[in-house]
């Protein structure tokens, strides 16, 4: 078995704010079938300590950015865990990233530098007879680990991979924290971890990791363009030979319409009817002649939900209904609440509820994902799994996972959803009109649903790609 250390700031089912947690939670079990022994390093947040029993102490730091820290073992189901127990950094209730004021914790650079530092130590020193051949870093929170491994002189024997789940989050810190974060002066230059006079944890990972991945092939290509690269497109173009896109999958056991305890289970599209009726009742929506669409999303500009607000009247006018679950930007939350008060066919829940999201995807006819950019996206994959037809923008992983219902795909009988481009209100309005047209054709609509439910959305293919990547980095054992 090839030993690999996965380093992340969140991991389902222990702690989750988005799709990153779903990926880091599902990947270890998927990789085990590929001959990879993956262990996961996480901060020991209070919500994690409540769910697992902390085991042996693996290593100790008497002063890890301001306080004592211990690395502890733990296990939860298929997850083999290393937990960084540093109360001065992580013993905080509420959001793992944000303070009570809704802003980033001021010491986030130190908090996640600590995670990266311990990852590098574990990579360099190993634990007992287990020593990782590869350290797999996820997003900026683990981005400094490759730099630390270089500084420790261990980069030659321990290889590194960094996966970009969303390039918009880069882990910036003031330059005066360079020494405080134990970063080597030799890395402080524009071709290193310096980014316009600041430290960029993500850029550090992109420069010093051995291989770079992101979560869909299309997003890998998009990242090398200025409109998507968020200022790092030049770095990614320079390393294009080391960059690849590996599509995310979902946990097909946790998301299985035939065995989902949150819903009335079903195996065929017509089995959705009871869940649809229940969802209308739960959201207080009257039935209509058109499709019942759902949205489960962060309410941010990235997700394009301002565009959806613009085109609600014609969609609702065609008999469509919309149930939305989400939270985020307060202005967006207020706008959606106001729209819910104005439109009979719209009902909104502000917040996040994992069980409710299962009921929504099971009961919805369609799921709308109008993102301006989307590295991979998972909700459209849940939709496919449950026969809930995706309506998606033509970008990132949305482009890679949904087969658009155009004339060619309909003739061949392979369409699974609706795509639109460019990402504008007019194009989205056309897509929703197309959705209503398809929904009105019973046999065609059921064919779309059946195609969606047959579409592969699990981890089998992608896990094999990750395993092959690890093999290319070192000798398989």
- Per-residue H/E/C for 9-71: CCECCCECCCHHHHHHHHHHHHHHCCCEEEEEEEECCHHHHCCCCCCCEEEEECCCCCCCEEE
3-class state of residue 85 by DSSP: strand
Kindly give, in sequence order, each residue whose CB lies less than 8 Å from that of residue 275, ignoring residues fewer than 6 positions away.
263, 264, 266, 359, 362, 363
Judged against a pLDDT cut of 70, whether residue 475 lies above it is answered with no
Determine which helix (DSSP H) or strand (DSSP E) holds 419, and give its type and residue range: strand 418-420
Look at the alpha carbons of 135, 137, 142, 148 in this order and tell me if their dihedral is positive or negative: positive
Among 114, 127, 107, 106, which residue's Cα sits nearest to residue 63? 114
Q: Are residues 289 and 418 in the same domain?
A: yes
The pair of structure tokens assigned to 40 is 């996961």
Q: 56: how many CB neighbours lie within 10 A of its CB?
A: 11
If you average pLDDT over residues 108-134, what whole number do you get? 97
Residue 254 located in a structural domain: no
Alpha helices in 288-402 (DSSP H): 305-310, 312-317, 330-342, 354-363, 379-385, 396-401
**Rg of the chain over all Cα atoms, to the nearest angstrom:** 23
| 256 lies in some domain | no
Residues 61 and 136 in one domain: yes
| Residues 309 and 358 reside in one and the same domain | yes
Looking at the predicted structure, is the pLDDT value of residue 182 above 60?
A: yes
Q: Is residue 407 part of a domain?
A: yes
Q: Reduce the DSSP state of residue 350 to 3 states and report it.
A: strand
Tell me what the mean pLDDT of segment 19-42 comes to: 95
How far is 338 from 290, CA to CA, in rounded Å?
23
Q: Is 16 annotated as a binding residue?
A: yes
Triad 291, 294, 299: Cα angle to 5°: 145
pLDDT of residue 476: 39
Residues 178, 307: one domain? no
The reply to whether 469 and 372 lie within a common domain is no
Across 356-372, average pLDDT: 98
Domain harbouring 282, CATH code:
3.40.50.2000
Say if residue 108 is in the same domain as residue 205. Answer: yes
Q: How confident is the model at residue 102 (pLDDT cuts 50, 70, 90)?
A: confident
Eight-state DSSP code of residue 287: P
Would you call the peptide bond into 422 cis, given omega within 30 degrees of 0 as the criterion? yes
- Residue at 468 is within a domain: yes
Binning pLDDT at 50, 70 and 90, where does residue 25 land?
Answer: very high
> Could you tell me the sign of the dihedral formed by the alpha carbons of 26, 140, 119, 46, in that order?
negative
Q: For residue 260, tell me if it sits in a domain.
A: no
With both helix axes pointing from N to C terminus, report the angle between 19-32 and 460-473 in degrees, rounded to the nearest 10: 70
Q: Which two tokens stand for residue 252?
A: 């097909």
400 and 290 within one domain: yes
pLDDT bin (cut points 50, 70, 90) of residue 477 is: very low
Report the number of distinct structural domains present in the chain. Answer: 2
Residue 459 three-state SS: coil
DSSP 182-234: T--GGG-STTTTEETTEEEHHHHHHHHSSEEEES-HHHHHHTTSHHHHTT-HH
Percent of the chain residues topping a pLDDT of 90 = 96
Reported as a pLDDT band with limits 50, 70 and 90, residue 93 is confident
* 38: nearest Cα among 105, 133, 114, 112: 133
Paired tokens of 297: 């999303």
> Are both 77 and 199 inside the same structural domain?
yes
Helix 273-283 to helix 354-363 angle (10° resolution) is 120
Sign of CA pseudo-dihedral 78, 81, 87, 92: negative
pLDDT tens digits, 226-254: 999 999 999 999 999 999 999 999 999 99
* Mean pLDDT, all residues of the chain: 96
pLDDT at residue number 398:
98
Q: How far apart are the first and last CA of the chain?
A: 6
Residues 330 and 213 in one domain: no
Please say whether the beta carbons of 395 and 372 come within 8 A: yes
Same domain, 207 and 288: no
Q: Give the percent of the chain with pLDDT over 70.
A: 99
Instruction: Indicate if the pLDDT at residue 173 is higher than 70.
Output: yes
Residue 379 lies in a domain: yes
- Domain range spanning residue 239? 2-249+460-473
pLDDT digits (tens, 9 = 90+) for 460-471: 999 999 999 999
- Residue 228 shares a structural domain with residue 93: yes
How many Cβ atoms from other residues are within 10 Å of residue 435's Cβ?
28
C-alpha distance from residue 306 to each of 48, 369, 370 (Å): 35, 12, 9
Overall average pLDDT of the 82-110 stretch: 94
pLDDT of residue 352: 87
CB 193 within 8 A of CB 203: yes
Is the residue at 262 inside a domain? Answer: no
> Region 453-463: what's the mean pLDDT?
96
Dist. CA 323–CA 280, nearest whole Å? 8
Residue 162 lies in a domain: yes
> What is the secondary structure of 305-324 as a DSSP string?
HHHHHHTHHHHHHTT-EEEE
CA-based nearest residue to 11, from 74, 98, 91: 74
pLDDT for 256-293, tens place per residue? 999 999 999 999 999 999 999 999 999 999 999 999 99
> Do residues 282 and 430 share a domain?
yes
- What pLDDT shows up at residue 236? 98
């Amino acid at each position: 078995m090839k030993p690999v250390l996965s380093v992340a700031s969140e991991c389902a089912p222990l702690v989750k704010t988005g799709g990153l947690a779903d990926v880091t939670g599902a990947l270890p079990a998927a990789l085990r079938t590929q001959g990879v022994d993956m262990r996961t390093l996480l901060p020991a947040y209070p919500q994690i300590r409540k769910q697992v029993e902390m085991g042996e102490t693996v290593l100790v730091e008497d002063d890890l950015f301001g306080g004592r820290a211990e690395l502890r073992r733990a296990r939860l189901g298929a997850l083999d865990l290393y937990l960084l127990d540093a109360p001065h950094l992580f013993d905080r209730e509420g959001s793992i990233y944000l303070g009570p004021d809704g802003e980033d914790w001021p010491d986030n650079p130190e908090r996640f530098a600590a995670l990266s530092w311990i990852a590098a130590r574990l990579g360099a020193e190993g634990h007992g007879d287990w020593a990782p051949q590869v350290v797999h870093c996820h997003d900026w929170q683990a981005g400094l680990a490759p730099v630390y491994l270089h500084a420790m002189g261990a980069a030659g024997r321990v290889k590194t991979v960094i996966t970009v789940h969303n390039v918009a989050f880069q882990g910036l810190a003031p330059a005066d924290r360079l020494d405080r974060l134990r970063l080597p002066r030799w890395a402080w230059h524009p071709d290193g971890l310096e980014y316009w006079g600041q430290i960029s944890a993500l850029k550090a990972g992109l420069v010093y990791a051995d291989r770079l991945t992101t979560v869909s092939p299309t997003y890998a290509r998009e990242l090398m363009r200025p409109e998507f690269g968020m200022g790092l497109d030049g770095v990614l173009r320079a390393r294009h030979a080391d960059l690849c896109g590996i599509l995310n999958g979902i946990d097909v056991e946790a998301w299985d319409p035939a065995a989902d305890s949150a819903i009335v289970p079903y195996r065929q599209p017509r089995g959705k009817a009871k869940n649809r009726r229940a969802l209308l009742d739960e959201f207080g929506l009257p039935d209509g002649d058109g499709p019942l669409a759902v949205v489960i999303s962060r309410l941010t500009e990235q997700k394009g939900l301002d565009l959806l607000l613009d085109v609600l009247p014609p969609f609702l006018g065609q008999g469509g209904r919309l149930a939305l679950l989400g939270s985020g930007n307060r202005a967006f939350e207020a706008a959606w609440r106001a729209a819910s008060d104005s439109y009979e066919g719209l009902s909104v829940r502000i917040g996040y509820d994992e069980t409710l999201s299962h009921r929504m995807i099971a009961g919805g006819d369609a799921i709308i994902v109008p993102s301006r950019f989307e590295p991979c996206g998972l909700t459209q994959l849940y939709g496919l799994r449950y026969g809930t037809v995706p309506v998606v923008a033509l970008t990132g992983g949305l482009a890679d996972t949904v087969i658009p219902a155009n004339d060619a795909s309909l003739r061949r009988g392979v369409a699974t959803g609706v795509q639109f481009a460019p990402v504008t209100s007019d194009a989205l309005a056309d897509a929703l009109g197309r959705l209503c047209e398809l929904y009105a054709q019973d046999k065609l609509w059921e064919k779309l649903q059946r195609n969606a439910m047959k579409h592969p959305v699990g981890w089998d293919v992608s896990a094999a790609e990750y395993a092959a990547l690890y093999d290319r980095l070192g000798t398989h054992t």
